[in-house]
Structure 1
């Protein structure tokens, strides 16, 4: 009964059954204890940042598991291998590897199962080094790895992004199952090596291994990642032949593939033809509309989903908040925020980050910071969004202060963090501070500056009129022939009336990007601001001669809860 209840996630009922058994005086043996330990092994699941999704449940299960461990010792079952493996499994699945190691070291003679549990535990924690070490020790101790060993090693390496080692494990399997094929294909797909994933999918079929719903969904993701529409269509045709195209999980993959390949009508057709829709299909369709800049339609579909009494997930809310952001609709964003609070998702790190982004990009920087400060958990993306929000709204000092708070909190900045804080320094004229932060990237944080970082610091120097320093940096950097850098310089030359450098920058842009209207327009604006109308006429004639057309710009305003698009030529 305890085992059955545990398998259907009836954890509380299974534990109550164990208490009832004890109260009734039924003799407790090692099988009883193993059954209740298997229930305690159903701990929280790890998210992609290595945090447990359900911390309260984890704590409860670990405490109960430790109590069972004490009872097993008291009853003299500490040397029972079956029970010891159950203890190992409970600690490993709850991520308590130190306790698992302690149990493992007390085993007189571990079995292959014992080694497999330890490898799986290290893999779940994302520690592929420990998993590989355990795998090697297992072989050194005279144990032959079985299919489960290789699957656990495969999962451990893929979780850590070590696809090369995972491939070695896969190639060592004499007859890999569909689970193993799925694992290695997913590993390549997650690391954006989509070509290798598709090649393995073909090889899998040559080996007469029948793909399942997981396989085809992963491959559809790889086809989408490569914009390989023809391959996606072939998979779709095979799915129709196998009558799998109506499976909700597979349909979500098809909707995502067609959306990412720009065929939103095909995605909508699949969505509307489904006999029954689950949350995965709704989320895929909403995300697909957003991806194709159909944000109003995505927002309306979200409302339709709610009216159909389908409960949104964290992904649903994060996606619809991005719609509000792209529509610059603070009114709708606040409505969604209220619903998020009502549904209890405000503490979710992904939803919280999307809220920070929405408030920042809709101009409510105080609302963004208020929510940021209330978040119980923040990841690197959350910090980056808030720093960038300050930068984009002209609060350079606050952006730098928040960057310093981030460093002080122990969070490790990434390349995006430095783009955000350098942008803040550029927009607020914090030249010396920006240069110091730029120089600290490599020396203090081990991050090599890329094009965007050089662009930010050159923009910072040029805006402040430090053209000599900007030119010196441009001579040393590896991205001198990138048009964006010269556009930044040309734009700043207009502000400071530096005609000679402006002409040099324009000439570089004419050479690097002949079809772009930007250098012509910026140079003409510099001449017009100085009253050099003959030079303006020459530029316009040159544009006409080369058939260069300026792209129209537009702005977006929200008036009385209605969105209005104002096009400006």
Structure 2
């Protein structure tokens, strides 16, 4: 059987017919099946159609899309004939791939070949000029456009507006827009977007109104840009834009629907977000992730998980950002179990090397786990860790008190060629501001100065905090003097550290510097200065700060009110403390503790108990500080049984884990009442590590009640924990003296003096005839 001829298959003119079929195939493949289209190249050559410019241009487009620019350039160089479409096609491919410098070089080659660029060529070139901020070349092209009468072209107009805006010539960009004869939504949206990027909200809104007046219908991208501004302008603005797009009858495309859902989610209006989500059946991974992220930001973790499951049921595959949002939710509720389940899913879908999902996993393990091994393993799996990966790991190690390791990873980060950002430096500085690592802070300071990162105010503030935490206040002031800008955080950080170190007078002097530099106090700084006044029992400065809180309106902040209560209670002005308390709309646990503490310190035991009961009745949950205050009140009043009752009832009712101070207070309470054996049993049975302090408390009680055997036992156990604490010798000597054994008392004091002279000697100490070894 003979093969059919071309004439039989393609008709009277087979060449023309075949060319037409190849053209159709190439057009179809250009939009749907790129790799299949390349197969047409071989028969085109075999049948001698390589000279056909139309086919060649279509093939050039295919090569640039699916084989890369190098093979496309090779095909272009082998083309026997080229026209403006050929040159523009390859130039456009360079622009789309981000090779803007090569695109401009290719333009020069095109001009040298004698080809005249058309509006599509110029549009691509203007995009490269905009990306590279090549304003001089862009303005030359603008001149060329005007000379050739193409200024009415809306595409070129939009490109020119974008160029002038990005290069800082927004007034000129506006003039171009206003003089365009055929301005369209793209041109107006480009200009609006430019104003929004510069955070010039009023100008952007004004331009939108001018657009409406010019009867240019906004498109979906206009509204997408305007909705993005609602983050700064508020919910009402976003809802107004929503009303406008409904009024214009703008089709709710997927990108516009996602922008609307994102706007409502940002303001925690999840019901409205869900309504918009349900308006059309169109959805993708980005839209679902926006919904999930909205639930996470609204602290609705259960709803976020439910949305994730619905997403899977609907057949939409979750991406790395979806898992990142869900893992962020795990971090917020400290759920290690849920985080581990999500981690297994991340591995199953092959995202274990993804940097976004990996960063979220590191953060989750650092916050939810008591160890750092899992976070470290995740970090090592990430294909290319970025600055966020390193920073999350370093900050997590610091939070787990692995200071040395965090510093080592900071050095390893630099060796890997990843530059630390301000958050990296702030995190590690916060870890180094302890007495164990003073040299680390200084080394970091040197690195910060060399890398010029000290110009960042957050890094400067972290440096101030590190030096102040080391009580190197002169160095902290030195950092402040070199900072370009100082804010409230700068001075509040310093004053807070001074307060913790007991330098309350120094903390109050910080106010002068703030006033001199017009740095306005906020609620945190004001509360800090009130605490400094309370620490000094300084009523004059305290009342002045109280007046400041009233004038500035900061008195409504609960931290300021609590500081006022603390100030007046410590200065024994209980009427003013009560007044400050009563003016609070919703006192919290700290508020009640301040008032109860003030009453206890003045010996007002009955009112303190009454206040505690009022606190419980009001529904405010007591904490460990409240329990300590109540026990102190019982100790002041000698109410042993009531103290024990409160200890057990409050601990069980509110789930308070007793600390050493609580047990020490109980031991003191029992010891004062002469119930020494009960006190000893409490020490032996308490579920805490034993400290020397609690033995001193019972030893003091033994002196009061002249119980020598128990006192000697407490002294021995305490010295085993802290051999160089001379207080045990003094208390024991006083016990001997009070019990009529002054010779043993003198001997004990002599041993203390010998200990001071020869602290490393092994000594044999004898208490009432009992001998034991004490290793020095």
TM-score range, shorter-chain basis? 0.7 to 0.9
The 2-side partners of 1:392 and 1:282 are apart by 31
Question: What is the rounded CA distance, in whole Å, between the counterparts of 1:338 and 1:365 in structure 2?
Answer: 18
Q: Which moved more, 1:386-395 or 1:303-312?
A: 386-395
Counterpart position of 1:109: 282
Answering whether residue 359 of structure 2 is matched by residue 359 of structure 1, we say no
1:394 alignment counterpart: 603
Which of 255, 259, 264 in structure 2 is aligned with 1:82? 255
Asked which structure has the greater CA Rg, the reply is 2
Question: Which of the residues 428, 444, 451 maps onto 2:637?
Answer: 428
Distance 1:516 1:210, change over 3 A: same
Q: 8 Å contact 2:328–2:364 — kept in the other structure?
A: no
Cα distance change on mapping 1:72 and 1:418 into 2, 3 Å:
farther
Distance of 2:414 and 2:509 partners within structure 1: 41
Q: Which of residues 299, 313, 328 in structure 1 aligns to 2:537?
A: 328
CA contact (8 A) 1:2 1:17 kept: yes
Whether the 8 Å contact between 2:425 and 2:459 is mirrored in structure 1 is yes
Q: Return closer, same or farther for 1:515/1:323 CA change in 2, 3 Å cut-off.
A: same
Change in CA separation of 1:8 and 1:283 when aligned onto 2, cut-off 3 Å = farther
2:515 maps to what in 1? 306
Judge conservation of contact 2:672–2:701 (CA < 8 Å) in 1.
yes
SS of the aligned residue for 1:121 comes to helix
Q: Which residue of 1 aligns with 2:16?
A: none
Preserved contact between residue 291 and residue 307 of structure 2 (Cα < 8 Å): yes
Structure 2 stretches lacking a partner, 5+ long: 1-190, 336-362, 367-374, 759-776
Displacement after TM superposition at 1:118 (Å):
3.0
Contact 1:462 1:489 (C-alpha < 8 Å) held by counterparts? yes
> Residue 344 in 1 paired to residue 517 in 2?
no
Distance 2:304 2:434 in 1: 30
SS at match of 1:546: helix
Aligned-pair distance for 1:151? 5.0
Separation in 2 of the partners of 1:434 and 1:102? 57
Q: Which moved more, 1:165-174 or 1:436-445?
A: 165-174
Question: 1:406-464: CA deviations, max 9, x gaps?
Answer: 44444444434433333333333343333233223553333333322222222233333
In 2, the alpha carbon distance for the partners of 1:359 and 1:380 equals 17
Query: What aligned pairs does 1:5-24 form with structure 2 within 5 A after superposition?
Result: none
User: What RMSD in Å do the two structures reach over aligned CA positions?
Assistant: 4.1
TM-score (norm 1): 0.77
Secondary structure at 1:375 match in 2: coil
Q: How does 1:34-49 map to 2 (within 5 A)?
A: 37-42=227-232
Q: 1:274 to 1:70 in 2, by over 3 A?
A: closer
Show CA shifts across 1:28-64 (max 9, x none).
Answer: 7766665565454448xxxxxxxxxxxxxxxxx5566
**Aligned 1:452-463 pairs, distance under 5 A:** 452-463=661-672
Give the number of equivalent residue pairs.
Answer: 532
Shift of residue 496 of structure 1?
4.8
- Structure-2 residue corresponding to 1:559: none
Q: Which runs of 5+ in 1 are unaligned?
A: 44-60, 550-569
Aligned match of 1:124: 297
C-alpha displacement of 1:346: 1.2
Report what 1:53 is aligned to.
none
1:204-283 matches, within 5 Å, as 204-225=413-434, 227-283=436-492
CA contact (8 A) 1:441 1:449 kept: no
Could you tell which deviates more after superposition, 165-174 or 404-413?
165-174
Query: 1:118 is paired with a residue of what secondary structure?
Result: helix
2:439 paired with 1:439: no
- Within the alignment, does 1:449 sit opposite 2:638 as a pair? no
**TM superposition shift of 1:74:** 7.9
Aligned to 1:475, which of 649, 674, 684?
684
Which of these residues, 92, 95, 103, is aligned with residue 265 of structure 2?
A: 92
Matched, 1:368 2:541: no
Distance 1:187 1:78 in 2: 46
Q: CA deviation at 1:487?
A: 1.9
Corresponding residue number in structure 1 for 2:59: none
Does residue 547 of the first structure (1) align with residue 756 of the second (2)? Answer: yes
Please state how far the C-alpha of 1:23 moved relative to its aligned partner: 10
Distance 1:63 1:252, change over 3 A: closer
SS class of match (2:454) = coil
Q: 1:25 offset after TM fit, Å?
A: 9.1
Tell me: higher relative CO, structure 1 or 2? Use CA pairs within 8 A at least 6 residues apart. 1
Seen in structure 2, the aligned counterparts of structure 1 residues 292 and 73 have a Cα distance that, compared at 3 Å, is same
Secondary structure class of the residue paired with 2:638:
coil
TM norm structure 2: 0.59
Which has the larger displacement, 10-19 or 82-91?
10-19
**Contact 1:380–1:413 (8 Å) recurs in 2:** yes
Q: What is the deviation of 1:223?
A: 1.8
